[in-house]
Structure 1
């Protein structure tokens, strides 16, 4: 047998996704390239590793055993690479972070230089809603979580990153001429909500409850991106984080409706379990953020305090 590490990685990904197309997407390869390597790998075994029933690909029992071995080999190779880097005095290991969906607009900027400087660090970043982020932290599946709403019952440590600002937004089909509207405007604007478990939804609902606003819920969608597109299409209005609508404001796909009491402000925090023993990689990242966060904010988010939005009243 003369299979390669690349073939092991491709077969492992195919076995995990049970799809050549999905495996190709996750590996950033073309579908034909994955198919060829999968065939070359299969040809080295007298027993089928996979089979196609209808249009669905299934991994055989023997293929599942090969996948387990492939994972062990890949893990050992990664460990060997990390040991080599550690021997050379370099920082090695995994950095695991979960982030709320709006975090995808800021977290990469707080990671790029750190990962670039430490080639031995493997980054695992999961972007999902607030409920799942907190669950992954609670289960000790990650080193850090990025949230804009702090959990109440979980013993955590926290580091403040930057402000999160939410505004009432709509498309440009309707002209809003007043410099500032009262909160009674919500009586006339059907609102589009995020799903339950979303930090944006939580912040939005808490504000509505505190102000006792007479809102009309139009629909519920499962991501800020979906909400944003629905607003652009004219299906309603919503309260969205400024960080995620910069381009749409500049392109005039969306407009901020100036309403008294806006923006709604919260803080993005990097949080971790108080009882967690941080790895050397996690400790190094925490030190990096504490030292560099202000420089990152000034260089990457200077527009955030600029003229894209009206001032709070």
Structure 2
């Protein structure tokens, strides 16, 4: 089997753009040239790489495999470019990070120092729900991934980054807000507003509540911390969110953290990368800085 670097670049562009025209534009070649190169790659592999259903282009299993290999080649080439740049005394390249939505409350601030020290590095942040981050991890689309509940069925390496306490919140003037201790039976009388099923916050919450034998009355399931905070402030029920998602003074957002028994829900943030992946020099540098900052990072309690 023989394939050229250009053909693999086109294969990756095809997977990312969803069209031969888009792949040609991305690789700065004409559409006929792109079609010919992709056909030659398919002939070398011995199987079709894509098929058309109506007006849409879909990769075949062979196409998906070829795209995955092309992505790995592109990552290795970028790593080589960064290592050569480092040998020349130049720090430039790209850093790709995918993070679960709640991590947006602290990762951008932790990025500040790195960006100041490496102005020539382009940074891409993908803020997604947990399933979206896991899918990108599976496809090896980024350098690093930030999750609170690492996937069990995806091989990966990881390090603990930060604590992620999940706290119960109520409207700032709720009767329970001033109590020195809130018992589980008191919480059972209140409706709860929780994150959507499948989110890292919800997975940790459900596991903790199950261990306690606590079955909350769920009024709403919402897809963002901001929506939960607004609903709680509007006295629609109690909420459960990461402490990172709240201001240093929660009252400024119209909510209060309840001093509930068996709370907060214990959880942590992790930084992950595909198992066995060789991180680029830029990713290694950022990971080192990230872990250094995490040691001194304050989680308001």
Asked if these proteins are the same fold (TM beyond 0.5), I'd say yes
The aligned counterpart of 1:278 is: 279
Greater CA drift, 118-127 or 279-288: 279-288
Tell me the residue number matched to 1:197: 198
The equivalences for 1:169-208 within 5 A come to 169-176=169-176, 177-208=178-209
The 8 Å contact of residues 184 and 213 in structure 1, kept in 2 or not, is answered as no
Q: 1:291 to 1:188 in 2, by over 3 A?
A: closer
**3-state SS of paired residue (2:175):** coil
Q: 1-side partners of 2:236 and 2:283: how far apart?
A: 43
Partner of 1:20: none
Q: Distance in 1 between matches of 2:98 and 2:195?
A: 19
Alpha-carbon distance between aligned partners in 2 of 1:272 and 1:167, rounded to the nearest angstrom: 28
Separation (CA, whole Å) in 2 of partners of 1:68 and 1:141: 17
Q: Does the CA contact (< 8 Å) of 1:92 and 1:120 recur in 2?
A: yes
- 1:198-277 aligned within 5 A: 198-246=199-247, 249-251=250-252, 253-277=254-278
Map of 2:38 onto structure 1: none
**1:114 corresponding residue in structure 2:** 114
Structure 1's 183 and 131: CA in aligned 2 closer, same or farther, altered over 3 A? same
> TM-score, normalising length from structure 2?
0.69
Q: Is 1:157 aligned to 2:162, yes or no?
A: no
In the superposition, relative to structure 1, how do residues 292 and 230 fare at CA in structure 2: closer, same or farther (>3 Å)? closer
- Does residue 135 (structure 1) correspond to residue 130 (structure 2)? The answer is no
Number of residue-to-residue matches in the alignment: 231
Structure 2 distance, partners of 1:138, 1:217, is 32
**In the TM superposition, what is the alpha-carbon distance from 1:189 to its structure 2 partner?**
0.9
Distance 1:178 1:281 in 2: 49
1:278 Cα offset (Å): 1.6
Q: Which runs of 5+ in 2 are unaligned?
A: 1-16, 29-77
Note if contact 2:233-2:253 (Cα within 8 Å) is conserved in structure 1: no
Aligned counterparts of 1:292 and 1:241: Cα–Cα separation in 2? 19
Task: Rate the CA distance shift 1:172–1:285 in 2: closer, same or farther, 3 A.
Answer: closer
Following superposition, the deviation at residue 198 of structure 1 comes to 0.8
CA separation in 2, counterparts of 1:213 and 1:245? 24
Inter-CA distance 225–292: structure 2 relative to 1 (3 Å threshold): closer
Q: Residue in 2 aligned with 1:4?
A: none
Determine the C-alpha separation between the residues in 2 that align with 1:214 and 1:154. Answer: 30
Query: Is 1:105 the counterpart of 2:105 in the alignment?
Result: yes
Structure 2: how far apart are the matches of 1:110 and 1:117? Answer: 12
- 1:201 Cα deviation after fit: 1.0
Give the superposition deviation at 1:260: 0.6
TM normalised by structure 1 equals 0.66
CA distance in 1, matches of 2:147, 2:253: 29
From the superposition, tell whether residues 292 and 220 of structure 1 become closer, same or farther in structure 2 (CA, over 3 Å): closer
The superposition leaves residues 63-83 of structure 1 with CA deviations (integer Å, 9 ceiling, x where unpaired) of: x96x7676446xxxxx9xx99
On the 8 A contact 2:193/2:220 being kept in 1, the answer is: yes
Cα offset for 1:291? Answer: 4.0
